[in-house]
Structure 1
């Protein structure tokens, strides 16, 4: 390898190391705020006849699938708090749940594909609070 290639390789590896260092610090900060922190991986979370009491998670450079179709809500109103950066999240919910979306998105999309067949007056309510950057969230039945 000549000197110019070694220099380029050194700069490239230094940039990768700096990025890894910064991301590690960010993940540590998010772990102090959220119940679960998912970074650089994929994860499937399923509540199968389990009680869902609410959850908060940070998702960074990852993909997450949350299946709540067989979940039981502890209270009439429960909160799912999601922070996403460069990620994708898919959430499956029962048809009789009322879904309420609250949050901010930066160059991101949150899509509610649930069927709104009932008036949701006495149905269980799931509030999804979100903070998205370059991410996508899909809610479906």
Structure 2
């Protein structure tokens, strides 16, 4: 796991270090390197997108979209293409939705209902122009996907258990919000970058139990919000 994270962080770190060096020498040697900065700023988007694609822990959907936007804006800066931001906006949103819907879940996503809770080992949740609430239980939870578009979603996972050492949940919130209540005592890791949105860890108890499983939440939030909580309201 650490190797993949290192790869992603290394790409970003190298870009920042090189940029710092260029700015420093540009200032003291009067190189005028940034006289045409307006033509090269999309490279930041390209590097950022690549940093997610080279890491297994990066958000592939977000990385792909940002990389495409960076390439397109670079072509515009070079006067190779002629259109504005809003010509790209909705195609980018639809691309994110399509990529997320194509994600495959591991076997075992059948859901049965026991009392007020649903029993499943894998999440496969999608809400559009609506709100939804889900409460799950499991003896071997394996993660899954949650996606909301123009709506809201609450997912209660407090009663799930797992035989896995690492569990991954991919969440995507576009013009909406997702709240997830996680099992007490689990170690929670969050990875992602909100775009015009936010992601919050609102848990009061964050000390994991000894030998606790690791729950990794990979998020993509655009014009919305997501949070990890102890209890749903």
Please indicate, yes or no, whether the TM-score normalized by the shorter chain is above 0.5: yes
1:28 Cα deviation from its structure 2 partner = 5.2
Relative distance call for 1:117 and 1:104 in structure 2 (3 A) is closer
Larger Rg: 2
Measure, in 1, the Cα distance between the counterparts of 2:99 and 2:213. 32
Residue 45, structure 1, aligned to residue 134, structure 2: yes
Count of residues in Structure 1 that have an aligned counterpart in Structure 2: 121
Relative distance call for 1:52 and 1:134 in structure 2 (3 A) is same
Measure, in 2, the Cα distance between the counterparts of 1:115 and 1:76. 23
Q: Is the 8 A contact 2:139 2:163 kept in 1?
A: no
In structure 2, the residue matched to 1:6 is none
User: Unpaired runs of 5+ in structure 1?
Assistant: 1-21
SS of the residue corresponding to residue 52 of structure 1 reads coil
Relative distance call for 1:81 and 1:117 in structure 2 (3 A) is closer
In structure 2, the residue matched to 1:32 is 102
Q: Is the 8 A contact 1:45 1:66 kept in 2?
A: yes
1:23-66 Cα offsets, whole Å, 9 max, x none, are xx665554223644321111112113453211112211111001
Superposed, 1:1-141 pairs within 5 Å as 27=97, 30-33=100-103, 35-116=124-205, 118=207, 120-141=209-230
In the superposition, the TM-score normalised over structure 1's length comes to 0.72
Relative distance call for 1:106 and 1:51 in structure 2 (3 A) is same
Measure, in 1, the Cα distance between the counterparts of 2:139 and 2:168. 16
Q: Name the one with the larger helix percent.
A: 2
Measure, in 2, the Cα distance between the counterparts of 1:37 and 1:63. 10
1:87-139 Cα offsets, whole Å, 9 max, x none, are 11111112201110101110111110123453555212110000110111121
Q: Name the one with the larger strand percent.
A: 1
Measure, in 1, the Cα distance between the counterparts of 2:98 and 2:222. 18
User: Unpaired runs of 5+ in structure 2?
Assistant: 1-90, 105-123
Relative distance call for 1:48 and 1:108 in structure 2 (3 A) is same
SS of the residue corresponding to residue 43 of structure 1 reads strand
